[in-house]
Structures are given as structure tokens and as C-alpha cells.
Chains A and B, each alone.
Chain A
Amino acid sequence: GIQVEQSPPDLILQEGANSTLRCNFSDSVNNLQWFHQNPWGQLINLFYIPSGTKQNGRLSATTVATERYSLLYISSSQTTDSGVYFCAVGSGGSNYKLTFGKGTLLTVNP
């Protein structure tokens, strides 16, 4: 099956800093989502982005499908951004079946 690798595994930032999270995948995809799992365990949708670039406030994401990677940018980080960020992909006719990466654990200190 498709492999998803996220980097870095852990990231510690001071409030106000910017960061870039990366997601590499081993095959072509037609479904890609970014999620934030907050410290209470909730999975929050950030982006549905199988290709192209999107922005939502301080967050933006870019997927370069031909090169099999996606990037999540967080600007002016806040303590509430802390948690685990997951990339999940789907491909082909079973693109509903999301394969998740292991996540990036982000800690934002005040």
C-alpha cells in the first residue's frame, strides 16, 4: 500500500515563530487531507488539498502531486496550535480509504 512519511516528527517553537511541516507519499494520490489533533484528542480538518495551494488565516498548504509531497505552513504560531498534525492520503478508486502518516508533534511555548 501507499506509504506516508511526515517530518519532522517533533517540533518545539516559541510563540510567534513560523514553521513548515512536510508530508511525502510513495505513490500518486487523488485525496490528501491535513488534520490537527489537539491535546484533547479531537481531529480537526485543516485542508483538503490533493493538489495546488490553499490558505486559511495563519495556515496554508501546498501539494505538488507530481513530486509526491505536501507542505503545511504555520505562521505566527500560538500556544493553541500545539498538538499533532497528520497528513492523510487516498489514491485510485479507493481514495476514500485514508492512509495516515505518523504525524508531527508540535509544541508551542509561550
Chain B
Amino acid sequence: NAGVMQNPRHLVRRRGQEARLRCSPMKGHSHVYWYRQLPEEGLKFMVYLQKENIIDESGMPKERFSAEFPKEGPSILRIQQVVRGDSAAYFCASSPSRTEAFFGQGTRLTVV
């Protein structure tokens, strides 16, 4: 059973570009979560999605960030007009129910 798959592993974007991070949950998992790890802030919850629905986006910055989990395909975290402060490791996790979450390897975003 493959784990949570995230791609790309590393992403470099220039300021003002868009970043798209992809996450394929574990087989049989319909709950997806995104977390961000900033050097000085640690790991923070961003958003919780189920198929086609955003359940809780209380940790998402109000502007430039969006997430989706379509009926078909991976979950996408989209960051528009990236700035240097968006540089971080972004982790996706999945679970079969609202209990134990399994994390992917993360995407390291660098904004230059």
C-alpha cells in the first residue's frame, strides 16, 4: 500500500509566480490535510478537505492560498503570486477517518 505521495519534492519559484503542490492520499483515505512547516513557527495546520469539499480552512492565509480535492485526481494546494515568506516545507496528510493522519514526504518550496 503506497503511502501519501506528494510532488514535486522540491519546487523553486520566482517572486510573483504561481506554485502548485500535489498530494495523492493513501488508498482508501478520503480525508486530506495540508500543513506548513516554517523554520521559526514549526508545523501548522492549514486546511482539511474531503472529496470536493473544504471542511476547515481556518489555518489558510486569507489571500493567495487555495486548496481543492476534486472527485478525480490529487489534492492541490495553490499559491498565487508567491513571496519570499512562502518559502517553507508543505506537508500533506491523509486519513481514513478523522483520526490517525499519515504524512507525505513534503514539498520544499523555495521562492527566489
Contacts and interface: CB of A to CB of B under 8 A. Distances in A.
B: interface residue count bin: 20 to 34
Interface stretch (B13-21, B68-76, B100-108): B100-108
A33 B100 contact: yes
Interface in A85-104: 86, 88, 94-103
A48 B43 contact: no
A42 B42 contact: no
A40 to B, nearest CB: 8
A43 B106 CA distance: 8
A14 interface: no
B103 A43 contact: yes
A: interface residue count bin: 20 to 34
At the interface, is chain B mostly helix, strand, loop or mixed? strand
Contacts of A44: 103
Contact of B99 (A35, A48, A97): A48
A100 to B, nearest CB: 4
A48 B98 CA distance: 12
Contact of A43 (B44, B91, B100): B91
A33 B35 CA distance: 15
A41 B106 contact: yes
Interface of A: 31, 33, 35, 41-45, 48, 86, 88, 94-103
The 9 A-B pairs with the shortest beta carbon distances in the complex, nearest first, are A48-B100, A43-B103, A100-B43, A96-B98, A97-B45, A42-B105, A102-B42, A100-B42, A96-B48
